[in-house]
Amino acid sequence: MSAPRTLIDKVWDGHVVRRRADDPDLIYIDLHLVHEASSPQAFDGLRGTGRRVRRPDLTLALEDHNVPTDSLTIADAMGREQVETLRRNCAEHGITVYSLGDGRQGIVHVVAPERGLVQPGTTVVCGDSHTSTHGAFGALAFGVGTGDVEHVLATQTMPLARPRTMAVEFAGALPPDVTAKDLMLAVIAQIGANGANGHVIEYRGAAIEGLTMEGRMTLCNLSVEAGARAGMIAPDEVTYRYLKGRPDAPSGDAWDRAERHWRTLPTDEGARFDRTVTVDAASLAPFVTWGTNPGQAVPVDSAVPDPEAFADEADRAAAERALAYMDLAPGTPMRSIAVDTVFIGSCTNGRIEDLRAAADVMRGRKVADGVTALVVPGSMAVRRAAEEEGLHEVFAAAGAQWRLSGCSMCLGMNADRLVGPRRCASTSNRNYEGRQGDRARTHLVSPAVAAATAVTGRLTPPAGLR
């Protein structure tokens, strides 16, 4: 009987191409996702050394960061250049690219799973930190730098030091209105924005088993905001049901073989993690950030904390600086904070269930005067699914804008950028200074909280409308 192993260990061990003392392991990569913002130098590097892409068939490119969401024409010269460069690079190397205007286009971390490309027990990389999303399937998925993108393009492998393992155990069931987004904002508030540095997290417990694949993707997406290298969830019936029948998932005998393998992946009884953190899921509430990192978060029914209350000096200084940037005073009830913009979208919360949750809150209601609300589906497939259900009509009737898919207002790399000292409730994953625009102030929230906030014009949990 071999020693009990974690899910992380099993996927790692199954992908070591070469192991040598004093060297990082060389890991095989099953799926390489590419986007326009982080790939140009990598392709230049290949060209400079006369190398080709080793496995174009295991590489998929998408246009997401620089694309507009209100038109199929990229007005901005730099954005256009990025996208055209990606198209040229992909044509030169025989890589499939889902371009702006293609029905399969969308945010890389939304499209790959919905196609069935991300499968349990595989390794997935992309020159993008939120590649951690794909860990929801029990894949080992992580963001890599541009130099690594080049290495993977050329060799389909990557040298990697074995990460440490961390179990995040959720005790108890989720209360109503508490979503995967709230769970993870609570985890990051508990362990800190660097709390999982150097680790791959496995999320465990009944609250996780009860999440849909979409919720699991939201959770794993935010792993990197806790500093983790990746986040993973063991595959189960929920995973298999989601994958079956997707265009790029295995079918027939190949499915049966794959499923037999997938069922061997969950962490063995008695396997050890380097670290374990326990989170009381049953005591959580909808969370919202007050500061400029995702760990600076509190339940929406509480107040902006007093920096003086932080025991750690660095935390205190960070809180003071964050409150100055956010223009907030200690003790201000979160629910009294007025916003002028609401963004519903991104690879964290731009999937169909997220849009359903937002539409459920907005149905029959209106966006408050003076508030601009953007609803940006994470992919064109999500957009079509939402339209089939009539969600776009709910948003339009409420006065929200219904857009094409892309990263949009998640970051200031395209036309959906906030100008001036605007304040935004956003379903995205980052709230650092200038993230959504030069002086923009971001409050990270779940889709339901974003929708309720759009209706009242102030940070509001959905229960606040009932």
Segment interacting with ligand IPM, rule: CB under 6 A, options 83-91, 123-131, 296-304, 310-318 = 123-131
- Token pair for 266: 């969950």
Decide: is 292 part of the binding site for ligand IPM (CB under 6 A): no
Distance of closest approach, residue 62 Cβ to ligand SF4, in angstroms: 10
Distance of closest approach, residue 396 Cβ to ligand SF4, in angstroms: 23
**3-class SS string, the chain:** CCCCCCHHHHHHHCCEEECCCCCCEEEECCEEEEECCCCHHHHHHHHHCCCCCCCHHHEEEECCCCCCCCCCCCCCHHHHHHHHHHHHHHHHHCCEEECCCCCCCECHHHHHHHHCCCCCCCEEEECCHHHHHHHHHCCEEEECCHHHHHHHHHHCEEEECCCEEEEEEEECCCCCCCCHHHHHHHHHHHHCCCCCCCEEEEEECHHHHCCCHHHHHHHHHHHHHHCCCEEECCCCHHHHHHHCCCCCCCCHHHHHHHHHHHCCCCCCCCCCCCEEEEEEHHHCCCEEECCCCCCCEEECCCECCCHHHCCCHHHHHHHHHHHHHHCCCCCCEHHHCECCEEEECHHHHCCHHHHHHHHHHHCCCCCCCCCEEEECCCEHHHHHHHHHCCHHHHHHHHCCEECCCCCHHHCCCCCCCCCCCCEEEECCCCCCCCCCCCCCEEEECCHHHHHHHHHHCECCCHHHHC
Distance of closest approach, residue 96 Cβ to ligand IPM, in angstroms: 20
110 binds, among ligand IPM, ligand SF4, none (CB under 5 to 8 A by kind): none
**Rounded to the nearest 5 degrees, what angle is found at the Cα of 316, between the Cα atoms of 312 and 318?**
115
Residue of 122, 129, 292, 453 that binds ligand IPM (CB under 6 A): 129
Q: Segment 395-434, which members bind ligand IPM (CB under 6 A)?
A: 411
289 binds, among ligand SF4, ligand IPM, none (CB under 5 to 8 A by kind): none
Nearer to ligand SF4, 224 or 326 (CB): 224
346 binds, among ligand SF4, ligand IPM, none (CB under 5 to 8 A by kind): ligand SF4
Over the window 20 to 49, marking each residue x when it contacts ligand IPM by CB under 6 A and - when it does not, the resulting string is -----------------xx-----------
Distance of closest approach, residue 38 Cβ to ligand IPM, in angstroms: 4
410 carries a ligand binding annotation: yes
458 binds, among ligand IPM, ligand SF4, none (CB under 5 to 8 A by kind): none
126 carries a ligand binding annotation: no
Over the window 135 to 154, marking each residue x when it contacts ligand IPM by CB under 6 A and - when it does not, the resulting string is --------x-----------
Nearer to ligand IPM, 281 or 404 (CB): 404
Distance of closest approach, residue 441 Cβ to ligand IPM, in angstroms: 17
38 binds, among ligand IPM, ligand SF4, none (CB under 5 to 8 A by kind): ligand IPM
The rounded distance, in Å, linking the Cα atoms of 388 and 382 is 10
Summarize as ranges the residues that interact with ligand SF4 (CB under 6 A). Answer: 64-65, 107, 109, 128, 130, 346-347, 407, 410-411, 428-429
Integer CA distances (angstroms), 323 to 68, 179, 376, in order = 32, 26, 29
347 carries a ligand binding annotation: yes
Residue of 15, 65, 403, 458 that binds ligand IPM (CB under 6 A): 65
What φ, ψ does residue 464 adopt, rounded to 5°? -70, -15
405 binds, among ligand SF4, ligand IPM, none (CB under 5 to 8 A by kind): none
Nearer to ligand IPM, 10 or 35 (CB): 35
Segment interacting with ligand IPM, rule: CB under 6 A, options 127-135, 213-221, 271-279, 290-298 = 127-135
Distance of closest approach, residue 110 Cβ to ligand IPM, in angstroms: 12
Binding site for ligand IPM (CB under 6 A): 37-38, 65, 127-130, 143, 411
User: Which parts are annotated binding residues for [4Fe-4S] cluster?
Assistant: 347, 407, 410
User: Which parts are annotated binding residues?
Assistant: 347, 407, 410
